[in-house]
Amino acid sequence: MKMELTSTIKHLAEAIQPEMVRIRRAIHRNPELSFQEFETSDLIRRELDNFNIEYTDPSTETGVIAHVRGAHAGPTILLRADIDALPIHEQTDSPFISKNSGVMHACGHDMHTASLLGCGYILHQLREHLKGTIRLVFQPAEEKLPGGASSMISGGILDATETERAPSYCIAQHVMPSSPAGTLGFRSGPFMASADEIYIRIEADGGHAAKPEDLSADSILVAAHMIVALQSIVSRTMPPEIPSVLTIGRIEADGATNIIPSKVLLEGTFRCFDENWRQQAWDRILQVIHHTATAYGAAVDVDIKKGYPGVINDPSLTKLAQDTAAHYLGQDQVEMVPIWMAGEDFAYFSEKCDSLLYTLGVGPSDDLHTPTFCPDESALEIGSGFMAFLTNQAIHNLIKS
Ligand code: NI
């Protein structure tokens, strides 16, 4: 039976592959920024109509929630894809290059969306044998705080309804350009980092670059000391067993060779894998910023925007998925992946429900969030088929236990 199901799903995935490629290219050609995914949501609804899969409106303005109902009662499994693009200007020679200048699907969310539609199609074809319900969640705004996940959750996406139990598991995949196309990667426990945003505004007298002695402070010099001092937090006060990173990624200082500006803006990110240390690090970041500014005579304003928490993969679901992947693809296509310092608002699902985020190899390609990112579309067949097969196995396991 299991072997039979494996080959049935593989055949369905192979049959739907051209459709997934078509859908992925259509989404890639028309990328939309976070919270503005109106046409993407329309496209998802049209494709669900084509597949005869029903859907309901989410609590968010964009996004779609679809439901594949098995012929028999059983648990609910939630499968999630994010649907938004990034403010990046695409620089590939792709025939389906982004037509929206300055916006690009550079994080593979077009792949996630096409794959989840394909997975929904496969599960819908198997509905006569299915026990329970699959909630397909097309989530807006993964790339921008506060993210779409938290509002979907407060809108009830993890709750039971009259016809569906509350989800027992939440499952998502993320494309991985450093892994060969079609490989699957897993990590049990903490997988992705919490990610906070730091905004610093330094103010002092601006003036002639030749007369710094007349100024209350040199805002550029203050910024330079601040950046160096902030680097000591991770290297000198952080427990070495907790991975963390602090990066200042943006400096705005509009002076000139002969002008010291009155204002310097710094922006950066702090990421780690421990909620206690996260709090302590925030305190240290604020101390270092305020005391450095005071020491050099500048005024400063700091805003730390709390970002997503870390993604924690449920160990027993991860083990089930690894075993299932080895069965579906063969052990040589399955890898253990290291922790990932990127942030992901799938974290909010993993806070509330036993969850798994695994990686789907789409390489070789340039990295995520670059203008030349170009995933291998052949991975869609495995991404969709494996997710459908894993969903089946998870339901089977839940009913057995
Ligand atoms: Ni992403």
292 C-alpha to ligand 1 centroid (Å): 35
131 C-alpha to ligand 1 centroid (Å): 31
226 C-alpha to ligand 1 centroid (Å): 31
Written as six digits, the tokens of 238 are 């952080």
216 C-alpha to ligand 1 centroid (Å): 44
Sheet holding 167-180: strands in order across?
A: 54-56, 64-69, 131-139, 72-82, 167-180, 355-363, 184-186, 334-336
Per DSSP, the three-state class of 286 is helix
**Placement of tokens 């990421």 in the chain:** 271
Helix (H) or strand (E) holding 250: strand 244-252
318 C-alpha to ligand 1 centroid (Å): 20
9 C-alpha to ligand 1 centroid (Å): 26
In whole angstroms, give the CA distance from residue 234 to residue 339.
17
309 C-alpha to ligand 1 centroid (Å): 15
In whole angstroms, give the CA distance from residue 102 to residue 306.
27
378 C-alpha to ligand 1 centroid (Å): 19
256 C-alpha to ligand 1 centroid (Å): 38
143 C-alpha to ligand 1 centroid (Å): 7
Exposure string (b/e) for 38-61, b if CB count within 10 Å is 16 or more? eebbebbbebbeebebebeebebe
DSSP 43-99: HHHHHHHHTT-EEE--SSSS-EEEEEE-SEEEEEEEEEEE--BBS-------TT--S
332 C-alpha to ligand 1 centroid (Å): 25
105 C-alpha to ligand 1 centroid (Å): 9
Written as six digits, the tokens of 115 are 């794959």
148 C-alpha to ligand 1 centroid (Å): 13
265 C-alpha to ligand 1 centroid (Å): 27
Which residue positions in the chain have pLDDT lower than 70? 1-3
**Which of 289, 298, 278, 283 is CA-nearest to residue 248?**
289
83 C-alpha to ligand 1 centroid (Å): 9
107 C-alpha to ligand 1 centroid (Å): 5
259 C-alpha to ligand 1 centroid (Å): 41
346 C-alpha to ligand 1 centroid (Å): 10
The one-letter amino acid at 72: H
pLDDT of residue 1: 46
Per-residue pLDDT reduced to its tens digit, 56-95: 988 899 999 999 999 999 999 999 999 999 999 999 999 9
Handedness of CA 214, 217, 220, 225 (dihedral sign): positive
pLDDT of residue 401: 77
The one-letter amino acid at 204: A
pLDDT of residue 28: 98
134 C-alpha to ligand 1 centroid (Å): 22
374 C-alpha to ligand 1 centroid (Å): 14
296 C-alpha to ligand 1 centroid (Å): 40
pLDDT of residue 238: 87
87 C-alpha to ligand 1 centroid (Å): 13
344 C-alpha to ligand 1 centroid (Å): 7
6 C-alpha to ligand 1 centroid (Å): 28
pLDDT of residue 400: 87
397 C-alpha to ligand 1 centroid (Å): 29
272 C-alpha to ligand 1 centroid (Å): 18
337 C-alpha to ligand 1 centroid (Å): 16
81 C-alpha to ligand 1 centroid (Å): 9
108 C-alpha to ligand 1 centroid (Å): 6
